[in-house]
């Protein structure tokens, strides 16, 4: 394993808050970038104080999205603060922000101004909607993006309302898209010597993950039905993609099925997939050998109109097995399946701990806390996750690095610019 990290030497001004931007810069910090989080003095990122579990201590909302960063408290609306930000822009590689529309311009740092200060700087930006979109002026949070990007209209059950996912498709997903854009622009800069503006809207990032639902709209427009949805063949289709409950999104029917204990445990379920070519092992696993060659069951097409009867038969088989016991049997038959895991089970999962996907890190005031580590694994490096910084913890250190002396720094504290 190498000690140096690929992004060592890349300096990032992290002007982000809440989740979409911080998730992006946190990822880059894990991979070696020097991420300087610029925060308003006194309050900082709003998530420091949102949903606190320990009075007066940075909330987990903040600590879990801001590890491996340095914190500079800076009031960028004061002349001193603006000067510091200008210096930082001149000496950095990337500026990432996810302010509301127009906020950076109002602060005096338009894209034109940024280019004047440092033509090599990459300006990465998250907004709710893309530039020029008829909703470009809207402020956006997670669930708003899920609704605007097509996730909500296609999630949930057909007899219920549009439903948002528990996964942060609008926030962290946009941050991950932006990280790809930043790395691409860094490689591009090696060829051109120039920075560029990289923008990713939350609506676009959600839509990108809803690609298969757009596929379904186009199929529906042409064919009038979608054979893998529960509405087929007995239900009705309108002219828009319906909500398909827990149906599989591809050509393999699947469903969430009850296991032993479902009456009291909200997560005593598995996801079961009926892979077309795996029909024989499925029948063997379920002890239904008579289905293997039965023309009423042996093809995906023949099974389609009785798919829920088949799922009911599988549930009957599952009723005396826990989700873990069921998966242990089904895995021997190569059936794509998994237990429905709760956050509590994931937090305690031994394999996730061993791989570094769940880690425990130190925080100066909180003590040890659990967080989610890098989901990306490398053969030649293992990112070390460190705790999130306190508000302004690195202010003096960063200012010193920018060339300010002790008196100047003291004056800035006096003027409440930092
Ligand atoms: N010093 C001085 N002022 C600062 C500052 C600093 N260090 N950091 C931020 N500010 C100011 C900004 O200049 C801006 O001021 P003005 O509105 O007067 O120009 C203000 O703080 C921040 O405004 P905002 O619109 O970003 O914040 P908000 O709480 O009203 O809205 C949000 C939050 C998330 C809805 C909005 O930022 C947004 O739509 N962002 C883009 C989409 C996005 O990323 N959303 C996901 C967030 S995660 O769920």
Q: Compute the half-sphere exposure of residue 53: CA atoms within 13 Å on the CB side of its CA.
A: 8
Nearest atom in ligand 1 to 99's CA: 26
Nearest atom in ligand 1 to 15's CA: 8
Produce one character per residue of 196-233: b if its CB has 16 or more CB atoms within 10 Å, e if not.
bbbbbbbbbbbbbbbeebeebbeebeeeeebebbbbbe
Rounded distance between C-alpha atoms, residue 29 and residue 14, angstroms: 10
**17 CA to middle of ligand 1, Å?**
7
Nearest atom in ligand 1 to 38's CA: 7
**99 CA to middle of ligand 1, Å?**
4
**46 CA to middle of ligand 1, Å?**
10
**19 CA to middle of ligand 1, Å?**
12
- Give ligand 1 pocket residues (Cβ under 6 A): 18-21, 38-40, 74-77, 98-100, 103, 106-107, 126-128, 139-142, 171
Question: Per-10-residue mean pLDDT for the chain, 418 residues long?
Answer: 90 98 98 98 97 98 98 97 98 98 96 98 98 97 98 97 98 98 98 98 98 97 95 93 92 94 98 92 95 94 92 97 98 96 98 98 97 97 96 98 97 94
DSSP letter (8 states) at residue 384? P
Alpha-carbon separation of residue 42 from 39, 49, 138, 411, 413 (angstroms): 9, 11, 27, 17, 12
**16 CA to middle of ligand 1, Å?**
8
**Nearest protein Cα to ligand 1, atom 36:** 100
* Per-residue pLDDT at 17: 98
**Residues 209, 236, 145, CA angle at the centre, nearest 5°?**
25
**105 CA to middle of ligand 1, Å?**
12
* Per-residue pLDDT at 389: 98
Could you list the active site residues?
Answer: 171
**Nearest protein Cα to ligand 1, atom 39:** 139
Q: How far is CA 17 from the centre of its chain?
A: 15
330 and 337 in contact (C-beta within 8 Å)?
A: yes
Residue 42 burial (C-beta neighbours within 10 Å; 0-12, 13-18, 19+):
exposed
* Per-residue pLDDT at 160: 97
**Choice from 18, 100, 144 to test ligand 1 binding pocket (greatest atom count within 8 A of CB):** 100
Model-level pTM?
A: 0.97
Read off the tokens for 321: 């097995």
Token match 């599952």: residue? 318
């Amino acid at each position: 394993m190498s000690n140096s990290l690929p992004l060592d030497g890349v300096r990032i001004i992290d002007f982000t808050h809440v989740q979409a931007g911080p998730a992006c810069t946190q990822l880059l910090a894990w991979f070696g970038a020097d991420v300087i989080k610029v925060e308003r003095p006194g309050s900082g990122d709003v998530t420091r104080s949102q949903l606190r579990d320990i009075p007066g201590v940075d909330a987990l909302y903040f600590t879990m999205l801001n590890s491996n960063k340095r914190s500079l408290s800076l009031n960028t609306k004061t002349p001193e603060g603006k000067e510091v930000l200008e210096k930082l822009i001149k000496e950095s590689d990337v500026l990432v922000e996810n302010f509301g529309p127009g906020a950076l311009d109002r602060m005096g740092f338009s894209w034109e101004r940024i280019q004047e200060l440092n033509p090599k700087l990459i300006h990465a930006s998250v907004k709710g909607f893309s530039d020029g979109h008829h909703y470009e002026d809207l402020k956006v949070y997670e669930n708003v993006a899920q609704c605007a990007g097509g996730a909500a209209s296609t999630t949930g059950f057909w007899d219920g309302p549009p439903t948002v996912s528990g996964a942060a498709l609008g926030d962290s997903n946009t941050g991950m898209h932006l990280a790809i854009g930043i790395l691409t622009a860094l490689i591009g800069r090696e060829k051109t010597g120039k920075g560029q503006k990289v923008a990713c809207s939350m609506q676009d990032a959600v839509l990108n993950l809803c690609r298969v639902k757009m596929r379904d709209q186009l199929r529906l427009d042409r064919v009038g039905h979608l054979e893998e949805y529960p509405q087929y063949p007995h239900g009705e289709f309108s002219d828009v993609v319906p909500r398909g409950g827990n149906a599989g999104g591809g050509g393999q029917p699947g469903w969430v099925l009850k296991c032993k204990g479902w009456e009291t445990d909200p997560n005593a379920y598995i996801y079961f997939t009926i892979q077309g070519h795996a029909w024989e092992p499925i029948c063997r696993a379920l002890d239904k050998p008579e289905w293997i060659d039965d023309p009423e069951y042996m093809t995906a097409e023949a099974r389609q109109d009785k798919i829920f009867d088949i799922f009911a038969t599988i549930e009957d088989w599952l009723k005396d097995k826990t989700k873990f016991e069921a998966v242990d049997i089904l895995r021997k038959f190569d059936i794509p399946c998994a237990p429905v895991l709760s956050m509590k089970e994931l937090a305690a999962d031994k394999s996730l701990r061993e791989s570094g996907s769940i880690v425990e890190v130190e925080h100066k005031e909180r003590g040890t806390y659990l967080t989610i580590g890098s989901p990306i694994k490398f053969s030649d490096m293992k990112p070390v996750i460190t705790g999130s910084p306190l508000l302004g913890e690195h202010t003096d250190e960063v200012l010193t690095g920018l060339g300010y002396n002790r008196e100047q720094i003291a004056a800035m504290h006096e003027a409440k610019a930092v």
